[in-house]
A and B are shown apart, each in its own frame.
Chain A
Amino acid sequence: MVAVELIVRDLAFGLMLGCVFSVVAHGLNIIWGVVKVVNIAHGEFIMLGAYGAYFLNLFAGITPLESAPVNAVIGLLVGYAFYYAFLHRELRNKQTITLQSEMVTLAATFGLSLFISNLAIILFTGNPVGVNYNPGTLQFGYLHVPLAALYVAIVSILIIAGTWLFLEKTFIGSTIRAYSQDVTATELVGANPATVASLATALGFAVTMAGGALLTVWVPVGINPLMGALYAPISFVIVVLGGPGKMWGSLVGGLTLGVLIDLVQAFATAQIAYAAAFLILIPVLVFRPGGILK
């Protein structure tokens, strides 16, 4: 019975970890899906979100769950500024993004990632910090579930559902979806492409930085300036697994990855688990380039 208990426990933790992975990758998914640009500095904004939660906890005494909305508001502003600083020049007056522009945005956001992570090392030092948030545990038979992780998992799913509702049911959301399908046609029906694209980027950043706050529950003593180097690749894999631009794709990709890591870890080492999690990207790209969702 021990083995079954072990698998059930790993599955439960894998699912909860997967939820927070999903929300961390979700911001990247929105930007990638709508604006067709991959932000290489994505991990650095997750890191800034995590530090945001840490400082809010330190100075205002609020929990990561409460600092997520604060982070989201900051993220909106940062994303808006990011669009005009990095993407606007390459995207304006273009129907589809060219390989050349793609390279420019990759290189520029790569420079940004170097800049932010090294600035963070100078400002925050390399020492890892953590947020202490422990509302207790919930018991299902032999399964002890930390409430913090459960809350974070629920909030993560709510955030993804919220962005889906926003894009499907609201007028601005429809405009953003229209932009992701056809820039020229969107312009023809009277929407300013730059406004739409900047809104989508801002939304993506808000989710990313809120996700960084939620992530602090899973890394109690591991918030450090270089954490982006792990969470950015994880986000890339998740978005490719789910398919860029598919809102529920983040959740599917995140859960797949979370369960994969925890289950492989149960039978092999953590290194093999992470190697498998990263390598899964290659066959998916070869056989299902649009993601595992239809």
Chain B
Amino acid sequence: MNIQKPGLTLYGLFIVMAFLAAAALLFGVAVSSILVFLLIYAALAYSINFITGMIGYVDFGHVLFMAIGSYALATLVSYYGANPLLGVGAGAVLGLVFALGIGLVILRFRGVYFAIATVVLVLAAYNIVLQFPQLGTGGEIIFNLTLQPLTPYFTIWTIVLIEIALTYYVNRSRIGFGIRAIKSEEDAASSVGVSPQRLKLIGYMLGGLFGGAAGGVYSWSTSGVTAGPAFDFTFSLLMLAMIIIGGVGTSIGPLLGAVVVYIPSYFLLTSVAQAQPLIIGLLVIIMALFLPDGIVGLLRRSNERLRLVLE
């Protein structure tokens, strides 16, 4: 199998990541508290990219793994006084385990049936969490930590870095070829010796792992978790919007999408901010109908040199 040497995209992404690390170290709390959410968005976008981007199964319920990670960290930190880093690890492991269990069942459904199954799972999980008094009234856990903004920042920074490397590797490896074969034609793929069930499960579990980890860092940064926002479809939808806008399945698209979705919401005034989801919706429609590869596809099409470089 011909696997090429790492290209410019990977080096470019590493430079961006190095820049993000330097910005936090140089400017400290003020900058890192803004950028930490950008990185959380990016981590979530990369995590759903393993599922929707690579396998091509639209996942409306990815927020489930984020919520699992959030609750794992919040429970460990507020009830057992554990180190938040341990909470992030627990969130990642739980995300992986849940993805394995859920994936074994719902990855058997194709296309729209999978999409619908992911929707109902989140709604069911939300209603079930509200049943547990241990998770606080209204599923709310709030904790106090001495503020060390750089620790969560570099945790999520590391997660995103691993995700970028892994996305890049999977896209070019044997697994990636198999996964792309599933995306184009699942039956044909299985007839040439690709095992769709196994590869889909790998993608789904990667999504669950990183979704859980990102969710852990999210509740760490917001010092708490509430069932309403934790299972809010808004996050699921934003994750999906980010990769559709950035470019599904690519290594650079999720980061681009996170920038497009997150940065305006931070800088716009509240009155204008109301119009932001409206614009995201419009962008998603346009991208889905006319630019299936998002911004990455647009850049590739506009310039011959970019076409060769961007992945």
Contact = CB atoms under 8 A, between A and B. Distances in A.
A221 interface: no
Of the four ranges (under 10, 10 to 19, 20 to 34, 35 or more), the interface on chain B belongs to 35 or more
B124 A278 contact: yes
Contact of B106 (A113, A236, A282): A282
Interface of B: 56, 58, 60, 105-106, 108-113, 115-117, 119-121, 123-125, 127-128, 130-131, 183-186, 233, 237, 240-241, 244, 274-275, 277-278, 280-289, 292
A281 B128 contact: no
A106 interface: yes
Contact of A118 (B121, B278, B287): B278
Interface string A262-294: 000000010110111011011001100100000
Interface residues of A, number: 43
Contacts of A116: 281
A282 B288 contact: no
Contacts of B282: 111, 115
Interface in A193-209: none
10 contacts: A32-B112, A99-B56, A99-B110, A99-B185, A110-B60, A114-B277, A275-B127, A278-B127, A282-B120, A289-B113
Contact of A233 (B120, B280, B288): B120
A111 B58 contact: no
A100 interface: yes
Nearest to B232: A229
A191 interface: no
Contact of A111 (B127, B233, B283): B283
A130 B158 CA distance: 50
Given A271-B127, A274-B123, A281-B116, A118 B292 contact: no
A112 B128 CA distance: 29
Nearest to A273: B127
Contacts of B289: 86, 89, 104, 108
A102 interface: yes
Given A107-B244, A112-B285, A237-B120, A122 B274 contact: yes
A281 B278 contact: no
